Amino acid sequence: MSEVEMPENLFDPTPVVLIVDDHPADVMILQEAVGDLAQVYIACDGKMALERARFCRPDMILLDIEMPGMGGFELCRRIKADAKLCDTAILFVTAHTHPENEIQALEHGGINFLQKPLSIPVTRAHVRAHLNLRAEAKRLAYFDALTGLPNRMLLRDRAEQMLQKARREGSRLALLLLDLDNFKGINDSQGHSTGDLILQEVSRRLSEGANNGDTVSRQGGDEFVILMTDIQHFEAISDFAQRLLEIISRPMTVAGNRYDLTACIGVSVFPDDGEDIETLYRQVDAAMHKAKQDGRNRYRSFSQNLESDANARHMLESHMRSALEASVFEVFYQLRVDVRQAQAFGMEALIRWRRADGELVSPADFIPLAEETGLIVPIGKQVLHKACRDAKALFDMGKRLCVGVNISVVQFREESFLDMVKEALRETGLPADLLELEITEGVLARDVDQARCLLESLKQMGVRIAIDDFGTGYSSLSYLKTLPIDILKIDQSFVRDMLSDPSDAAIIEAIVRMGQALGLELVAEGVESQEQSNGLLNLGCELMQGFHYCHPMPFKQLCAGMGLTITEHQ
């Protein structure tokens, strides 16, 4: 077998043994002893042995000490100095009987010392014992303990070798990154033992659904990577991805309960999407996240547009972190007006991000990413403290205005959320009834009981609760009578077309009647004209917010519009 044709050890269950001896008779004995225990390679001198070891990546080397040219001790030293070969087990085989040779062999990194003339049964027993230890060590190092699948390290090794093969042959290979949808919710609600059983079943299904020659690996958590080889046409990749989605979506019964899972898959292809494993990993991750954004139970292939989006998101996240550290996020305020009384009723705090060049970044461009990365928690804390300080400043100047602060679902689920609110009120001295927390219906959808407990704690503190964008969510209306809610904010999408679309006007009227029956305040958002204001008044809604009455503005400008002067300490 030529060096170019010699296959590398792809961590096949069959172990590999390299026999290095310049005596043909001893080679024959060693072959007879280990031939059925491993795949055997032979070298008759140190130079040939080093070359073959780098190709076949042996689990064990049976090494003679005395050889022409490079001796056994020198070869052992070089093997142990090679990062890819250093963990190879080396068993010295020699006719030398002096104890110093045995000591020297062990000091060079050998694991044992066999004497010639060789006993086949003894040699065989030594080799089998060490190969068994080697197999267990490899299993622990290269395979996932829960599922038995190759782990990240082994997948990377195989991918590197398959890339070399693909480059030589001008062929393609693909990486598929599969991530289960909402697995964290199952893990949290059903327990980790159930989650582990589900992951084991998913692993079994993926392994059965893979093609011969493909590698299915678990990367950690609920992420799996499939290395797909022998690709004849692109349709084969999409067909394979679709088949995996169908396999995962079949109902499974675990611990007596039925689970209906779905997954998202990202795909990247060599050489079309990248020339090295790092690039392919980065791009398959971007493709998978695109699949998540587009919904559940789907796959997405990488494209240059995705790379641009991923780079832009990375840059945005980096800038956002810097902005957070530098405390450059600003808070603007938009007044709410009691139209019948013709006076300000309250104000809503709205986050703004002003770049170094003075340009304002739209919240729609960074809030979703802030929620995804968890940055919304520290950002939201800054906004809450600033809003409370400014509302307290107005209070001290004789203007009693309640300030509304938007709370995202990520903030609401933080264990420290309640303490954060208490801390903001304590540090700023704002009366609790002048703080209004605005949550969307989506916040309530995940766990109504947990939401009720948290909202009741807030109400006991005196904080007011508003449901923002009411009418656009998907929660049961029963929460209106069971949760401690003070205000319903009618979403601007209904207000926008209320004059031209009778159905929007009817929806607003129904919300107003329901709010009045439950004793709730009603605020219409997005009011931009006098006609809309008149229509809302006729429907029974008196509290309004929108460009018709006030644009969002910095705190100093808000105060100036009220004829107030801010002192330095404020």
Domain ranges of the chain: 16-141, 152-302, 330-561
> How sure is the predictor about 308, in pLDDT bands with cuts at 50, 70 and 90?
low
Checking if the pLDDT of 400 tops 60, the result is: yes
Residue 117 phi/psi, 5-degree rounding, is -70, 145
Q: What angle do CA 464, 467, 469 make, to 5 degrees?
A: 145
Give the span between the Cα atoms of 209 and 206, in whole angstroms.
5
Please tell me which residue, 538 or 10, carries the higher pLDDT value.
Answer: 538
Q: What pLDDT score was predicted for residue 311?
A: 57
Token pair of 517, please? 């029956």
Q: Which residue type, as a one-letter code, is found at position 104?
A: Q
Instruction: Work out the average pLDDT over 34-63.
Output: 85
Instruction: Work out the average pLDDT over 142-171.
Output: 88
3-state DSSP call for residue 406?
Answer: strand
Checking if the pLDDT of 9 tops 50, the result is: no
Average pLDDT, the chain: 84
The string of pLDDT tens digits covering residues 546-557 is 999 999 999 999
Does the predicted TM-score (pTM) go above 0.75?
A: no
Please tell me which residue, 498 or 63, carries the higher pLDDT value.
Answer: 498
Token pair of 246, please? 């169908």
% pLDDT > 90, the chain: 33
Give the span between the Cα atoms of 262 and 181, in whole angstroms.
6
Checking if the pLDDT of 5 tops 60, the result is: no
Instruction: Work out the average pLDDT over 505-522.
Output: 91
* Alpha-helical segments (H) within 11-119: 24-34, 46-56, 72-81, 99-107
Give the span between the Cα atoms of 254 and 194, in whole angstroms.
7
Q: What pLDDT score was predicted for residue 15?
A: 87
Q: What pLDDT score was predicted for residue 555?
A: 93
Homologous superfamily of domain range 16-141: Response regulator (3.40.50.2300)
Please tell me which residue, 538 or 94, carries the higher pLDDT value.
Answer: 538
Minimum mean pLDDT range among 80-84, 185-189, 236-240: 185-189
Give the span between the Cα atoms of 401 and 421, in whole angstroms.
18
Checking if the pLDDT of 8 tops 70, the result is: no
Residue 72's CB is within 10 A of a number of other CB atoms, namely 26
3-state DSSP call for residue 226?
Answer: strand
Instruction: Work out the average pLDDT over 488-495.
Output: 90
Q: What pLDDT score was predicted for residue 197?
A: 93
Which of the residue ranges 5-19, 48-62, 289-303, 501-515 has the most confident prediction, judged by mean pLDDT? 501-515
DSSP state of 486: -
Checking if the pLDDT of 543 tops 90, the result is: yes
> How sure is the predictor about 473, in pLDDT bands with cuts at 50, 70 and 90?
low
Checking if the pLDDT of 189 tops 50, the result is: yes
Give the span between the Cα atoms of 330 and 325, in whole angstroms.
13
Answer for the pair 445, 474: CB distance below 8 angstroms, yes or no: yes
Which of the residue ranges 87-101, 381-395, 496-510 has the most confident prediction, judged by mean pLDDT? 381-395
Domain 16-141 and domain 152-302, same fold? Reply is: no
Give the span between the Cα atoms of 451 and 438, in whole angstroms.
13
The domain at 330-561 falls in which architecture?
A: Alpha-Beta Barrel (3.20)
Checking if the pLDDT of 372 tops 60, the result is: yes
Checking if the pLDDT of 139 tops 60, the result is: yes
> How sure is the predictor about 429, in pLDDT bands with cuts at 50, 70 and 90?
very high
Q: What pLDDT score was predicted for residue 13?
A: 65
Answer for the pair 64, 20: CB distance below 8 angstroms, yes or no: yes
Q: What pLDDT score was predicted for residue 313?
A: 64
Domain 152-302: CATH class, spelled out: alpha beta
% pLDDT > 70, the chain: 91
> How sure is the predictor about 426, in pLDDT bands with cuts at 50, 70 and 90?
very high
Sign (positive/negative) of CA torsion 438, 441, 442, 444? positive
Checking if the pLDDT of 519 tops 70, the result is: yes
Please tell me which residue, 4 or 40, carries the higher pLDDT value.
Answer: 40
Q: Which residue type, as a one-letter code, is found at position 93?
A: V
* Alpha-helical segments (H) within 57-210: 72-81, 99-107, 120-142, 152-169, 183-190, 192-209
DSSP for 311-376, please give it: HHHHHHHHHHHHHHHTT-EEEEEEEEEETTTTEEEEEEEEEEEE-TTSPEEPHHHHHHHHHHHTTH
Give the span between the Cα atoms of 337 and 335, in whole angstroms.
6
Residue linked to tokens 């520290």: 378
Minimum mean pLDDT range among 51-60, 256-265, 304-313, 341-350: 304-313
Give the span between the Cα atoms of 549 and 375, in whole angstroms.
32
Q: What pLDDT score was predicted for residue 33?
A: 82
Query: By C-alpha distance, which of 164, 161, 295, 149 is closest to 216?
Result: 149
Please tell me which residue, 105 or 17, carries the higher pLDDT value.
Answer: 17
